[in-house]
A = this chain, B = another copy of it.
Amino acid sequence: PLDHAYSLTTGTTSAELLRKLNEQRDIIALMEVKMKEMKATIRQLRVTEAKLQEEVRERDRLLSAGAAVKKM
């Protein structure tokens, strides 16, 4: 009876551990997908930032040129 109880408990525990292992594995897989998406978003936002900074510089050049013309 003791052996049986131990065996049963051990079996239940192993099954429970396996279930949790699989749950965690699924969570990790989902998080990896999410992180890939976030990395792509960050990459895209950095490209957009560089583009906008260039647009600001281009307009500043035009404004400087305009100011120089007015002074002439």
Q: Which residues of A are interface residues toward B (Cβ below 8 A)?
A: 3, 6-7, 10-11, 13-14, 17-18, 20-21, 24-25, 27-28, 31-32, 34-35, 38-39, 41-42, 45-46, 48-49, 52-53, 55-56, 59-60, 62-63, 66
Identical chains in the assembly: 2
CB distance from A40 to the nearest CB of B (A): 11
CB-based contact B45/A49 at 8 Å = yes
Chain B residues with CB under 8 Å of A62's CB are 59, 63
Ranked 8 nearest A-B pairs via Cβ:
A59-B59, A52-B52, A45-B45, A17-B17, A24-B24, A38-B38, A10-B10, A31-B31
- CA A60 – CA B62 in complex, angstroms? 10
